[in-house]
Structure 1
């Protein structure tokens, strides 16, 4: 087999950048400027289709594409990447919506808002330390139930900002953030381990890089959308931003459920068994 050239995939990068720009611009341009939002999204979808086709051709000609066709052909990797995109974007979008609401809508200081959101980070760090045990035993099913818990925490946050009086809002939101952080601790690293475990041999570097890229793209587009809507509305429709996050988490849970039934092999469990 001839050695594959290691090249810089400039056409692929250009197509990917154009698709991301078309996704972001409708939410960041001032109202009334530019084409309708549906047109931007249609162009972005067309660019993604063109990217997939171009990357396949680039790979057949001996280049190293940023989107390796073998990765798209791996069900475990493909589903895991979609889960990572949806969860990462949902988490940051919901956090941004809450932060804008607390500071712009309620007039809280940056420190006050940060202290309310901080418990999520502590819970995430604590639970992440045992996440490998959960993924080793339950595989994608563990990720699925953690996604359901994360969805419940976001819905609880929306209920809190809607019905809890301002005087008790800080404590109530702190509890929802604790739950959200704990759930994320059982999602992010376990899902990454499962996803990369399904990467085809010899493609670990590209698989890890594209997984990280997919997460960042989702977060960027989601945060741009939430910030654009919130800032345009002045006080910020926090429930709309949380609804976007909840919808993305629900979609991630559906993808995870499809990866459990029928079951996909658990590469983490296999690796741990081999080590013992």
Structure 2
């Protein structure tokens, strides 16, 4: 049974008004094919079946009517059927279906479009003065999809990178580590020692920065060692897909400036900060 939506706007591509609707049943007319109409640069027609396989329902089909198509043609189209409610002034619309039309299957439709009982009940507003109005929208789906091929390489390598950053109080606003290798990929550490990367002067920011071009799934932990008490060491865990367009990930509010600047807290000792980056490269996606 068709799932319906309701809207005020009429169908965009085709409408048909059937007058003397009762004549169809009176004379046992089982099928009616509409004239051709154009949608999406193709010719179509609607086919209504009034006494089909499911005789308690009226079926509504869409058929390709274009005869100038090349051999082995294929057209994908989103198809909606409409029925006008002459009391409310609204249109019932079937839930759109994307259908594939080809030489071996040039007609698709809805076998249980609407029940004869519901359609024929005057209080429902679909048949007034023995006439009713149907409609259709056909939106051709252009084959312009971007195709991505991915080869997932199971790397699953671990790497531990230790950094001893001296002269911490003299670092520039943005400090970049030397390049290092992990999991067959190249990385750097980005550190904002005086304010976070968003420009707020309350926290230090730390990021792992990827220098490659592939997509790399990585789990990593950034540790700032507490040189007085290892239990107070700051550790943050991350999981991220790195790529050329998403090359850095970390924590913009890693540690507040008041804490890291306090010589009694143990994060900066003799103007030296100790970082440890634990990297687990899970997989590399080779995209083509």
Query: Which has more radius of gyration?
Result: 2
Give the number of the structure whose residues are more often helix, by fraction.
Answer: 1
Q: Give the shorter-chain TM-score range.
A: under 0.3
Greater percentage in strand: 2
TM-score relative to the length of structure 2:
0.19
State TM-score, norm by structure 1: 0.20
